[in-house]
């Protein structure tokens, strides 16, 4: 089979994630866990590309780091002036786990999350073959 899966399958995975459903058992019209994981990654990659395209043209970027229980969540707000209007985009840059303690490790984890943002196909599922 050539080409991408039907749009309906991407929508089903998006809606299941939005509704907080666990994906381990798969999604009805999509299939089992492996295919759902691939579609989730594709959706995430598309969002990452949109975030990066906006951020790299922004005049001002704010990063918020939330560190708890061995996890680091990095959120962002970016502002740019485009066609006579101020535009704002907010989102999550990424998350780091088990990065150690102290300011140096916190900064290294932040750098690793930022690097994933600008790296095409970062974190691709290891089982990714054809969808």
| Model confidence pLDDT, tens digit, residues 5-22 | 888 888 888 888 888 877
- The parent domain of residue 111 ranges over 58-119
- Contacts for 86-95 with beta carbons within 8 Å, 24 or more apart? 87/54, 89/51, 89/54, 89/55, 89/58, 91/47, 91/51, 93/51, 93/63, 93/117, 95/71
Q: Specify whether 85 is located in the same domain as 50.
A: no
pLDDT digits (tens, 9 = 90+) for 81-104: 989 999 999 999 999 998 988 899
Structure-token pair, residue 91: 């989102």
What pTM, to 2 d.p., does this model score? 0.75
Q: Specify whether 12 is located in the same domain as 31.
A: yes
Cα 33 from Cα 115, distance rounded (Å):
27
Q: Please report whether residue 105 resides in a domain.
A: yes
Decide: 51 and 118 in contact? Cβ < 8 Å.
no
Cα 128 from Cα 131, distance rounded (Å):
7
């Amino acid at each position: 089979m050539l080409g991408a899966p039907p749009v309906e399958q991407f929508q089903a995975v998006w809606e299941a994630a939005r509704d907080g459903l666990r994906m381990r058992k798969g999604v009805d019209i999509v299939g089992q866990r492996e295919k759902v994981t691939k579609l989730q990654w594709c959706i995430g990659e598309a969002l990452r590309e949109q975030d990066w395209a906006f951020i790299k043209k922004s005049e001002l970027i704010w990063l918020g780091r939330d560190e708890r229980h061995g996890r680091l969540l990095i959120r962002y707000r970016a502002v740019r002036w485009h066609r006579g209007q101020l535009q704002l985009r907010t989102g999550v840059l990424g998350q780091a786990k088990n990065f150690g303690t102290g300011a140096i490790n916190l900064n290294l984890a932040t750098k690793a999350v930022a690097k994933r943002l600008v790296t095409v196909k970062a974190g691709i599922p290891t089982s990714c073959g054809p969808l």
